[in-house]
Amino acid sequence: MAELSASAEITFRRINARTVDEVCELSETLSDAQRDMVADNALSIAEAHFSENAWFRAIYADDVLVGFVMLHIGADHDDGIDYPGAFLWRFMIAGPHQGLGFGRRTIERLVADLRARGFKELRLSCHEVEGGPEPFYRGLGFVPTGGRYDEEVEMTLVFD
C-alpha cells in the first residue's frame, strides 16, 4: 500500500465496477477481532443495494483507498434501524492505515457534510469489548443514548 501523509485530504467517492473489488478486499486487512465487529464490505455493499436508506462511499486519503463508510438515513424497520436521522451503519479503515488519524478525520468530514445537509446529530452502535471501537467514538464526543442494537451500545454525537 502507498505511503500517506497524515495531512492527506479525506474524500468520499462512489464505488463502481472498477473499484468494488478493491473496496471489498479492504476487509481482509482487518484483524480477526475487528472482522468479528464489522461486516465485510462486500456484505455491506450488497445490503445497501437492498435498502432505500443507504448511502455508502469509499474513503480516500488523497488518491489512496483507505476505508469504507455507510450511512443509513431514515428509519426503516426492514433494515433494523429505527432511528429517523443519520446513522453510521458501517465504518472501517483498512488495517495498514489505522492509527494515522484517518478514522477521526473521516468522521469529522462526515459530520461537516451532514451539518451542511441540515442534520444535527449522528448516531451509531458499536461493541463494548476490549479492543472495540467504543473508546475511539467517545474520544470524538459520542455519548451513549441508553439504547441498544442487539449486543451493541447506541451512541450519539450532537453537533448543532
Reference 79, options 39, 114, 118; nearest CA is 39
Question: What percent of the chain shows pLDDT beyond 70?
Answer: 98
The count of structural domains within the chain is: 1
Q: Is residue 35 part of a domain?
A: yes
Q: What is the pLDDT of residue 100?
A: 92
Number of other residues whose CB lies within 10 A of the CB of residue 78: 9
| Amino acid residing at 127 | H
Residue-range definition of the domain harbouring residue 88:
10-158
Q: What is the pLDDT of residue 73?
A: 94
Q: Is residue 113 part of a domain?
A: yes
Q: Is residue 81 part of a domain?
A: yes
Residue 55, class by beta-carbon neighbours within 10 Å (0-12 exposed, 13-18 middle, 19+ buried)? middle
Q: Is residue 85 part of a domain?
A: yes
Q: Is residue 1 part of a domain?
A: no
pLDDT band at 160; cut points 50, 70, 90: confident
Q: Is residue 129 part of a domain?
A: yes
Q: Is residue 4 part of a domain?
A: no
What are the backbone dihedrals phi and psi of residue 106, each rounded to the nearest 5 degrees, phi first?
Answer: -65, -45
pLDDT band at 3; cut points 50, 70, 90: low
Give CA–CA dist 2/5, Å, rounded. Answer: 10
Q: pLDDT: is 32 or 81 the higher one? A: 32
Give me the chain's average pLDDT, please.
93
Check whether 6 has a pLDDT greater than 80. Answer: no
Q: What is the pLDDT of residue 1?
A: 47
Number of other residues whose CB lies within 10 A of the CB of residue 5: 9
Check whether 2 has a pLDDT greater than 70. Answer: no
The model's pLDDT over 57-105, given as tens digits with 9 standing for 90+, comes to 999 999 999 999 999 998 887 778 878 899 999 999 999 999 999 999 9
Q: Is residue 153 part of a domain?
A: yes
- CATH number assigned to the domain comprising residue 75: 3.40.630.30
